[in-house]
Every structure is written in structure tokens, then in C-alpha cells.
Amino acid sequence: MQRFALSVVMTSVLGLAAYTFSGAQPPARGPEGQRPRGGPGAGVALLRGADLTEEQKAAIKAIREAEQPTAEGPSVEARLRRDLQAEVFADSPDVQKIASLQQQLAESQSARLARQIATDQKIAQVLTAEQRAKIRERLAQAPSDRRGPRPQGQGARR
């Protein structure tokens, strides 16, 4: 049991260290400290080329506003991440508490993803078949890994 606890703690520490040293940055905060909406589905950038009517724009805006989180202060995920990191770096980490926080964080992220998908499905219903086809075409042409290196000759930074 002690060997298992040590391996869990070491894995967590190494994972957090790798994340920190990789230069990973959290998404920039927008107005009122909220993170910009991102993730799967029809984001603002995908909808730009869809030639939306004014009625569609109003409907999509209403959908997004209805789905906006109303809570102020740090998100549940941010609090869970902070608590998890504090426990991992404690003088004597509680392996069960780490596992519990990890599970809570996974459930919170899963719930957020489900909300994003539900919102995207509502938005998709506002679009015409041609607009959805145009978005699918743009998705098919988009690079699959935006964080990876860019191919040479396609705007690679030096």
C-alpha cells in the first residue's frame, strides 16, 4: 500500500512538473475574469464563414447567453485544481484525498463538456443544412493538433 501511495504521489508530481515546465499557459481571461468559451463544436470562428442571417445571429446569441455561467469567483474546476495541487505538494500528501479530488475534477470537466456539446447542438439546429456543411468542411481542413508544430511554409514562426 505504501509503495502504491508513493507511486501515485510521484506520478502526480511528475505530471504537474511536466505541465509547468512545458510552458503551458491557461487560456487568457476575458471580461470579468471569465475564460473564453472554447472546446468542441461551433465556436465563433467556425460560424464566421457561415453567412448567418440576423435572426440566426440573435438566436445564437440568446443560446449562448442562456448557457453562460452565473457564478462569480473562481470556477469549481479552478478550485479543484488548486486543492489537488496543494494536496500533491503537501508535506505528507493524503493519497485518498488526491484520488477524490482527481475524480471530482474529472466529473466537473465531463459535466462542462456535456454542457458545451448541448449548447453546440442547439446552435447547430439554428443553422441551415448548407451552413452546417460549410462548417464541417472547415473542420475537415483545420489542423487536428493546434498545439503542435506548424508545417514549414504555412506561416511557421521563427
Which of 108, 136, 109, 104 shows the shortest CA–CA distance to 120?
Answer: 136
Quote the pLDDT of residue 8: 61
Quote the pLDDT of residue 93: 93
- More confident of the two residues 17 and 77: 77
Quote the pLDDT of residue 41: 41
Using one digit for the tens of pLDDT, what is the confidence trace for 11-55? 665 555 555 544 444 444 443 344 444 444 446 667 877 788 899
Lowest average pLDDT, out of 21-25, 75-79, 129-133, 145-149, goes to 21-25
C-alpha 158/C-alpha 95 separation (Å) is 44
C-alpha 142/C-alpha 65 separation (Å) is 27
**pLDDT, averaged across the chain:** 75
Which residues in 11-31 are b (16+ Cβ under 10 Å) and which e? ebeeeeeeeeeeeeeeeeeee
Share of the chain above pLDDT 70, in %: 58
Which of 76, 82, 62, 65 shows the shortest CA–CA distance to 112?
Answer: 76
Quote the pLDDT of residue 49: 72
C-alpha 147/C-alpha 134 separation (Å) is 24
Using one digit for the tens of pLDDT, what is the confidence trace for 88-113? 999 999 999 999 999 999 999 999 89
Half-sphere exposure of 13 (CA within 13 A, CB side): 14
C-alpha 93/C-alpha 84 separation (Å) is 10
C-alpha 12/C-alpha 98 separation (Å) is 9
- More confident of the two residues 43 and 132: 132
Quote the pLDDT of residue 7: 64
